[in-house]
Structure 1
Amino acid sequence: MLVAAVAVGWQLHRYPGGWKYAFGNEHDAARRDLQTARGALRGLERTAQKELSGARAAVEAATASHRRRVRDAELHVAHLREPGRGGYRAELGPLALYEYVLDVQTDEWRADLPLHEIAVRAEHSPTAGHVYLVGPDGRQHLMTYPVAEVGEEQVRTFVVDVHNAIAGAKAFQRERPSLLRQAEADLRRVRTDTTEQTKARLHLDAVTARQSGDTRIPQARQALDAAHDRWHALTGSRPS
């Protein structure tokens, strides 16, 4: 009943003047005349709004894409300038291996050691594994791992991981200057490459200009005003 009441109220609102004008069969043609004028205007407005919204969305998407590309290029340059630790790889007691550094955390020594400046080797005795670490200053440090706590295979595996990471870090350091130059050039290019934004804005300008000169919507509004006039002349009430 509520739905029916709402439907009746909506019909009376759309076709004001009384029940017979809103529902009577004798006024079908007048209602169709008004509905046709309304539908024509709304269809044109809906199509124009959809086209304009699409063009604006394309500008926003192109702008956002450019920002992302610039941000990604900036992050790449920043990484090459200051690589930091890099990704985590493995750890063994007080030693934590990262992509570019070996983090040491003992009671006597706390430091991030650049991998390309250190060396490491392992030795074993029946009771313990020994990791010899040569720091950037050339001094050698000994880390001892009792076999009862850390197995020989675990120590050897960690030292192999460190060896491989050192090789990777040294290669990265050799290549870093050229990689940085390329990354900075890419950043400059990305910052100045606004081709997609320009195309999107030109398309938006073209759509806006074409719609501004399109006479179909003003004509449809005039046609709807004329339909309102005819309905008012028939019923004494003017549709909103």
Structure 2
Amino acid sequence: MDAVQIATVIVVGLALWALRKRYRFPGGWAFAFSLRYESDREALASARNKARDVSRRAAQAESAALAALASAQDAYERRLRQVEQQLARLRSPGAGARLDGLGELVLFKHILVVTSGAKTRSIELAGLDVRFDTGRTNHSIYLTDVTGRVFRAKYPHVLPAMDDQQRFDEDAVRDFAVAIQNAVADENSFRARIPHQLTQAEAELEEARADTHTQEAARKQLTLVRQRNRQDPSRKVADSELEKALQNWETLTGRRPPK
């Protein structure tokens, strides 16, 4: 920035300062700048500052009370959401995390997904019977669901010499069948606990809905702060002194200044 630009910034800044002072102390240049009226300007500025300080403290107290109420409301809504999400997971647990996969079967925490060609379907783990068998050309995992329907997953281990289809080791297929059996055991245990957990979660939801004490206390505190601000004697004194200072300036200059 060169000297001309610096000088321009200074001149503009001084002009804005002078205009603001003329606005704050209306009636003419002398009333705004002359030493003769300096004590009058100081009296008006002091009254303004005092009223502004009282208003700022009142606003800060109300802002803090509003923040406390908002925090209480957020905590209330957050707890409701947490319990509602817990209930939703218990009522509809979904697939859950992926645990393992082999061939056309993919094992998740709560279901087994079967992909056969272009078709995909899910088998619930609860009550599922899992059996491993091996044959001349294929290892097999037999899955019998709670309705009695049976699905057979095939894992070839003997293929023609020119066939590039994947071959499966028996131990790998057996281990996968064991993984499914263990997941079924976990799922059966999980399902057995659900009724009790649902009862607990539903009771917790009712309790969470009824627990509005913190909100009510914060709302009462906000009402109290607002009432105290309205009745604050220091505010009345500051407003009265400011009004008097405004009237004195108007009597002196014929112009009423802004607050």
Q: Under TM normalisation by the shorter chain, which class is it? A: 0.7 to 0.9
- 8 Å CA contact 2:105–2:153 kept in 1: the answer is no
Q: 2:98 aligns with which of 75, 82, 88?
A: 88
Runs of 4+ off more than 6 Å:
124-127
**Residue 157 of structure 1, CA deviation:** 5.2
Looking at structure 2, the residues matched to 130 and 76 of structure 1 have their Cα atoms a distance apart, in angstroms, of 38
Q: 2:227 aligns with which of 197, 209, 216?
A: 209
Looking at structure 2, the residues matched to 136 and 99 of structure 1 have their Cα atoms a distance apart, in angstroms, of 17
When the two structures are superposed, what TM-score results if normalisation uses the length of structure 1?
Answer: 0.87
Q: 2:254 aligns with which of 233, 236, 240?
A: 236
Partner AA of 1:174 in structure 2: A
1:57 and 2:41 are equivalent in the alignment:
no
Aligned to 2:6: none
Looking at structure 1, the residues matched to 58 and 237 of structure 2 have their Cα atoms a distance apart, in angstroms, of 14
Looking at structure 2, the residues matched to 21 and 155 of structure 1 have their Cα atoms a distance apart, in angstroms, of 98
Q: 1:103 to 1:40 in 2, by over 3 A?
A: same
The gaps in structure 1 that reach 5 residues or longer are none
When the two structures are superposed, what TM-score results if normalisation uses the length of structure 2?
Answer: 0.81
Q: 1:16 aligns with which of 26, 44, 59?
A: 26
Looking at structure 1, the residues matched to 36 and 155 of structure 2 have their Cα atoms a distance apart, in angstroms, of 101
Aligned to 1:73: 83
Q: 1:106 aligns with which of 116, 136, 140?
A: 116
Give a deviation string over 1:3-45, Cα, whole Å, max 9, x none.
2221221111111122222222332221111111001111111
Q: 1:25 to 1:156 in 2, by over 3 A?
A: farther
**Residue 71 of structure 1, CA deviation:** 2.0
**Residue 97 of structure 1, CA deviation:** 2.0
Aligned to 2:5: none
Q: Percent identity?
A: 33
Looking at structure 2, the residues matched to 44 and 25 of structure 1 have their Cα atoms a distance apart, in angstroms, of 29
Q: 1:235 to 1:122 in 2, by over 3 A?
A: same
Q: In terms of mean alpha carbon deviation, does 97-106 or 154-163 score higher?
A: 154-163
Looking at structure 2, the residues matched to 51 and 3 of structure 1 have their Cα atoms a distance apart, in angstroms, of 35
Partner AA of 2:78 in structure 1: R
**Residue 92 of structure 1, CA deviation:** 3.1
Q: 1:149 aligns with which of 157, 166, 181?
A: 166
1:7 and 2:17 are equivalent in the alignment:
yes
Looking at structure 2, the residues matched to 5 and 127 of structure 1 have their Cα atoms a distance apart, in angstroms, of 97
Q: 1:174 to 1:12 in 2, by over 3 A?
A: same
Q: In terms of mean alpha carbon deviation, does 199-208 or 132-141 score higher?
A: 132-141
Looking at structure 1, the residues matched to 32 and 176 of structure 2 have their Cα atoms a distance apart, in angstroms, of 86
Q: In terms of mean alpha carbon deviation, does 159-168 or 148-157 score higher?
A: 148-157
Q: 1:187 aligns with which of 182, 205, 208?
A: 205
Looking at structure 2, the residues matched to 87 and 53 of structure 1 have their Cα atoms a distance apart, in angstroms, of 45
SS in 1 for 2:95: coil
The gaps in structure 2 that reach 5 residues or longer are 1-8, 158-164
Partner AA of 1:149 in structure 2: Q
Give a deviation string over 1:110-147, Cα, whole Å, max 9, x none.
53222122133445689765433233333443222346
Aligned residues: 240
Larger radius of gyration: 2
- 8 Å CA contact 1:63–1:197 kept in 2: the answer is yes
Looking at structure 2, the residues matched to 18 and 111 of structure 1 have their Cα atoms a distance apart, in angstroms, of 88
Q: 1:98 to 1:177 in 2, by over 3 A?
A: same
Superposed CA RMSD: 2.6
Aligned to 1:173: 191
**Residue 62 of structure 1, CA deviation:** 1.2
Q: 1:234 to 1:82 in 2, by over 3 A?
A: same
Aligned to 2:143: 133
